[in-house]
């Protein structure tokens, strides 16, 4: 399910306490998804969405603290869910 893919990515992103360099968000996303054997092709898109909207940085860090993928997705703001949905590859 697509929410699980990017919700797992949110968990990887949440591992970053501060992402200031290009690629750090994507790297965290890729690491989280690959650890679960999932497609990580949407990670660069998600990083771009986060970098274009800095208000998402803190939210994705907080979402990364939620272990359950469904709960993590459901807890996300509509803005964060839109970013996840836009970047998800089915």
From CA 77, how far away is CA 27, in angstroms rounded? 23
Quick check: pTM over 0.85?
no
pLDDT digits (tens, 9 = 90+) for 7-64: 656 655 555 544 455 678 888 888 877 887 878 899 999 999 988 998 898 898 888 7
State both tokens at 64. Answer: 């990364």
34 token code pair: 């690959």
Q: Where are the domains of the chain?
A: 2-87
Instruction: Confirm if 28 and 47 have CB atoms less than 8 A apart.
Output: no
DSSP state of 76: S
Whole-angstrom distance, CA of residue 69 vs CA of residue 53: 22
């Amino acid at each position: 399910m697509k929410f699980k893919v990017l919700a797992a990515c949110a968990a990887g992103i949440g591992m970053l306490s501060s992402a200031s360099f290009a690629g750090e968000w994507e790297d965290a996303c890729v690491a989280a998804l690959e650890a679960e054997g999932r497609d990580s092709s949407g990670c660069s898109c998600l990083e771009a969405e986060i970098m274009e909207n800095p208000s998402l940085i803190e939210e994705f860090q907080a979402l990364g603290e939620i272990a359950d993928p469904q709960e993590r997705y459901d807890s996300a703001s509509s803005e964060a869910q839109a970013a996840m949905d836009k970047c998800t590859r089915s």
